[in-house]
Amino acid sequence: MAMKQTGRKVYKTMQGKTIDMDLLRQRNELTPAVGNAKVNARGDELGAGGRIIKKREDVVKEYYNTDGPRPVETAVKRSANKDLTEDWVEPEVKTTKTTAKKDPVVVETSDDEWVEDDEGNFVKKGD
Q: Per-residue pLDDT tens for 5-30?
A: 566 789 999 999 999 988 888 899 88
Distances (CA, A) of 80 to 21, 74, 84, 91, 94: 60, 19, 10, 17, 26
Q: Per-residue pLDDT tens for 43-85?
A: 899 998 889 999 999 999 988 888 777 777 777 776 665 555 5
Q: What is the pTM of this model?
A: 0.40
Domain ranges of the chain: 18-93
Contact 98, 67 (CB under 8 A): yes
